Structure 1
Amino acid sequence: MSVRPAPAALPELRLTPGTAFGMYLHVPFCATRCGYCDFNTYTAAELGGASAQGWLAAVRTELELAADLLGAVSVDTVFIGGGTPSLLGGAGLVEVLDAVRSTFTLTTGAEVTTEANPESTSREFFEHIRAAGYTRVSLGMQSVAPRVLAVLDRTHSPGRALHAAAEAAAAGFEHLNIDLIYGTPGESDDDLLRSVDAALTAGVDHVSAYALVVEDGTALARRVRRGEIAAPDDDVLAHRYELLDQRLSAAGLGWYEVSNWSLPGAECRHNVGYWNGGQWWGAGPGAHGFVGDTRWWNVKHPSAYAQQLSDGQVPVAEFERLDAHARHIENVLLQIRLRTGLPLAALTGSEQRRAGDAVADGLLLRAADRLVLTDRGRLLADAVVRDLLDD
């Protein structure tokens, strides 16, 4: 596998037949920066003159270039992420979806998701995007405990995400996700369980829950380094994971990926495409794409992104070509996280022998010709992968 600066255009992209194709569009705007976040996002003061309309015009250009490079391709899933896509408003998100439809064909029954911050939504917002063809909304709640939200620098009120979920359901959305974060310093077991119960009461059919990670360069990392708050504790994180898994499972939401639970049939098809080795085009500043054996990532700042497109170039910062060994590592790393598991035949002979050791240790179970993480294995998923793979 090699990484190199990209030329004015990507190398020839050859779609792998028989795999799902998705479209990811990155909206880089946020009203404020959360203390734990290291995503490619910008507040108004950091944009250097970039605007939502300028971003949309640049995205339209990138999509046209993508269509030229890929040729006729049908899109199975669309995911608008960020950042805070809901800051574009209902009309803005309709324009984004129109831009995709004007350059690509959406398959019948395509899944179309947008992320949303509860504070920048309303019933009218949800009605607008539902009528335009959005099928799924992912709401960032993180917690209903005020002290947890304060540590995370989240600005929404504890109950706003629940009201937003009710508004989305009333607008006709059948598929609703709520994001949770667990393990925040100062969080109690009860704080987490109240957050899980609140999500369930809101009637969502999908919950994503992530352990808090202290990322270098964030405000949270600086506070931990200064000793103002403690770093998340691994044992506490494991305990909290078990608590939320038990609560969600009891309510009928089963895990289908280590950090994701849903009612039957409500899995996020876009993300399942990632984990199963699908292909996608990533549009927008800092977005990543993957087609055939090529992965690339765009320049990060919205102004630089727009300028590169204005110069007639695909706005790529770098790309890499994945050889068979790199693809093998990624397939093991991603598929082992799924409840459907990893085909035993995907492993080398020595990896299969080590898989047998993991089964004996209670980290994996053998289900016909597949390997699936046990409950204990899910807590140690990264270590399981490291132990499985050949050097």
Structure 2
Amino acid sequence: MPSILPEGDPAPEDGSLPPSVREGAERRAFGVYVHVPYCRVRCGYCDFNTYTASELGGTSRGDYADQVQRELSLGARVLRDAGLPERRVSTVFFGGGTPTLLPATDLAVMLGRIRDEWGLAEGAEVTTEANPDSVDRAYLERLADAGFTRVSFGMQSAVPHVLATLDRTHTPERIPLVTRWAREAGLQVSVDLIYGTPGESVADWERSLDAALATEPDHVSAYALIVERGTKLAARIRRGEVPAPDDDLHAEMYELADARFADAGFEWYEISNWARSRQSGGSTRSRHNLSYWTGEDWWAAGPGAHSHVGGTRWWNLKHPGAYAERIGRGVSPAHAREVLSSEARRSERILLETRIADGLPAEVLTPDERRGIPGLIADGLIDGRAAIGGRIVPTLRGRLLADTVVHRLLG
């Protein structure tokens, strides 16, 4: 089942934000995330806030685009009332769940409301996630016509037994088709992979890497499988039906992926993400995801969605029925919120920016924290040349031991 929402302070029904959100807002980009909480089946490893048809409790997918539009209009009003400067939306991301279970016209309508309320910046990045078996050529063409620029396919693996363990519904043969259709529609293509699935061998992983690169994507994400409590996969491991993931195997698979991607002309820019080399004609990094790692502002619409503006973070009610009820009454669907202290924001910045290739400016660290830099260099965890230049950038070893880098900096 979906994970539990964090605790927090009560969120005001009108959605109002504290005056502190205005500080430095003109220097921060603004993006929008739309959560679409529907899935045809629940994958055994997933604890995202998603629902199959039998779990919707009387709510209808047909009403969802209208509900999100209402929240987006509420968001525009809340940001105006908070005194924030007018900012066009630089990135939009539809995630889930499976956004492409909705008609393409619904996604277009929600994107249109974002455009109407805030405007889209020139060259705005507009992405949707998609399962390979949830779209066809015509659907992808309609997305491109509506203003989408990018699609991220949940490939996960090219090996049938791995897909079966993950409870994925598509076949490996579907991947080359949908990626080709997306490119022909004029969309950038990203593929998501998962490694370390119980029963997956290094040879299986190599097969998936080869298949992913054969689609000539613009961007690749590769995530180590995490077994979340309460999931079907966790129960299978507990019963001994499948083996638990192996950390050493995870590390071997990550190193293999990084080498294969580099050979194919990709550069890592965040621990789990690679984009085509900027020397090969423009970056294909996910600007929306980078906004999360660099502390920009975003409004997140939909059940369970988490927003952040100027150090204030809030999250919506999880169930689509509860979300719809609040939206129907014209009040904020926020469940709770937190206003981060300056020290909490600094610690979070260290945690996130030590994960990216652009690195963390060393000036963010206190003098005591900077004393740990030589040891991190000596242990091969951060790049010595970058550190001399004033930035903390993890090495390959440092990416594998990212928590260690943060722990040694913060003490």
TM over 0.5: yes
Please point out which of 217, 224, 227 is paired with 1:204.
Answer: 217
Please say if 1:23 is aligned against 2:41: no
In the alignment, what sits opposite 1:83? 97
In the alignment, what sits opposite 1:360? 378
Deviation for aligned residue 1:38: 0.3
Q: Which amino acid aligns with 1:317?
A: H
Deviation for aligned residue 1:89: 2.6
Pairing of 1:4-23 with structure 2 (within 5 A): 4-13=9-18, 14-15=21-22, 16-23=25-32
Q: Which amino acid aligns with 1:232?
A: P
Aligned residue for 1:8, secondary structure, equals coil
Q: Which amino acid aligns with 2:336?
A: E
Describe the superposition over 1:219-276 as per-residue Cα deviations: whole angstroms up to 9, x where unpaired.
0011111111111000000000001111011000110000000102000000111111
Deviation for aligned residue 1:312: 2.1
Give distance in 2, aligned partners of 1:27 and 1:375. Answer: 34
In the alignment, what sits opposite 1:3? 8
Runs of 4+ in 1 over 3 A off after TM superposition: none
Please point out which of 179, 202, 214 is paired with 1:189.
Answer: 202
In the alignment, what sits opposite 2:395? 374
Deviation for aligned residue 1:9: 2.8
Give distance in 1, aligned partners of 2:17 and 2:171. Answer: 48
Give distance in 1, aligned partners of 2:254 and 2:111. Answer: 35
Asked whether the 8 Å contact 2:16–2:78 carries over to 1, the reply is no
Please point out which of 88, 99, 115 is paired with 2:113.
Answer: 99
Pairing of 1:1-391 with structure 2 (within 5 A): 3-13=8-18, 14-15=21-22, 16-71=25-80, 72-173=86-187, 175-263=188-276, 264=278, 265-366=283-384, 367=386, 368-390=389-411
Q: Which amino acid aligns with 1:190?
A: A
Give distance in 2, aligned partners of 1:138 and 1:284. Answer: 19
Asked whether the 8 Å contact 2:65–2:110 carries over to 1, the reply is yes
Give distance in 2, aligned partners of 1:92 and 1:11. Answer: 28
Asked whether the 8 Å contact 2:192–2:222 carries over to 1, the reply is yes
Aligned residue for 1:231, secondary structure, equals coil
Q: Which amino acid aligns with 1:319?
A: R
Aligned residue for 1:363, secondary structure, equals coil
Q: Which amino acid aligns with 1:260?
A: N
| Larger mean Cα displacement after TM superposition, 23-32 or 87-96 | 87-96
Flag structure 2 segments of 5+ consecutive residues without an equivalent.
1-6, 81-85
Asked whether the 8 Å contact 2:36–2:94 carries over to 1, the reply is yes
Aligned residue for 2:102, secondary structure, equals helix
Give distance in 2, aligned partners of 1:310 and 1:246. Answer: 51
Give distance in 1, aligned partners of 2:319 and 2:39. Answer: 14
Asked whether the 8 Å contact 2:220–2:273 carries over to 1, the reply is yes
Q: Which amino acid aligns with 1:206?
A: H
Asked whether the 8 Å contact 2:65–2:107 carries over to 1, the reply is no
| Larger mean Cα displacement after TM superposition, 218-227 or 67-76 | 67-76
Aligned residues: 388
Q: Which amino acid aligns with 1:125?
A: Y
Aligned residue for 1:373, secondary structure, equals coil
Asked whether the 8 Å contact 2:266–2:275 carries over to 1, the reply is yes
Asked whether the 8 Å contact 1:277–1:331 carries over to 2, the reply is yes
Deviation for aligned residue 1:52: 2.0
Give distance in 1, aligned partners of 2:249 and 2:298. Answer: 36
Give distance in 2, aligned partners of 1:206 and 1:12. Answer: 35
Task: Compute the TM-score of the two structures, normalised by the length of structure 1.
Answer: 0.97
Asked whether the 8 Å contact 1:183–1:236 carries over to 2, the reply is yes
Flag structure 1 segments of 5+ consecutive residues without an equivalent.
none
Give distance in 1, aligned partners of 2:105 and 2:13. Answer: 33
Describe the superposition over 1:196-215 as per-residue Cα deviations: whole angstroms up to 9, x where unpaired.
11111111010000000000
Give distance in 1, aligned partners of 2:16 and 2:365. Answer: 30
Aligned residue for 1:186, secondary structure, equals coil
Give distance in 2, aligned partners of 1:181 and 1:160. Answer: 17
Give distance in 2, aligned partners of 1:156 and 1:276. Answer: 34
Give distance in 2, aligned partners of 1:117 and 1:144. Answer: 14
Give distance in 2, aligned partners of 1:121 and 1:208. Answer: 20
Task: Compute the TM-score of the two structures, normalised by the length of structure 2.
Answer: 0.92
Aligned residue for 2:315, secondary structure, equals strand
| Larger mean Cα displacement after TM superposition, 133-142 or 96-105 | 96-105
Aligned residue for 2:26, secondary structure, equals coil
Asked whether the 8 Å contact 2:15–2:331 carries over to 1, the reply is no
Aligned residue for 1:12, secondary structure, equals coil
| Larger mean Cα displacement after TM superposition, 133-142 or 156-165 | 156-165
Give distance in 2, aligned partners of 1:18 and 1:172. Answer: 31
Two-structure CA RMSD over aligned residues (Å): 1.2
Aligned residue for 2:122, secondary structure, equals strand
Asked whether the 8 Å contact 1:140–1:161 carries over to 2, the reply is no
Describe the superposition over 1:284-329 as per-residue Cα deviations: whole angstroms up to 9, x where unpaired.
0000000012100000001100101112211001000000111011
| Larger mean Cα displacement after TM superposition, 90-99 or 201-210 | 90-99
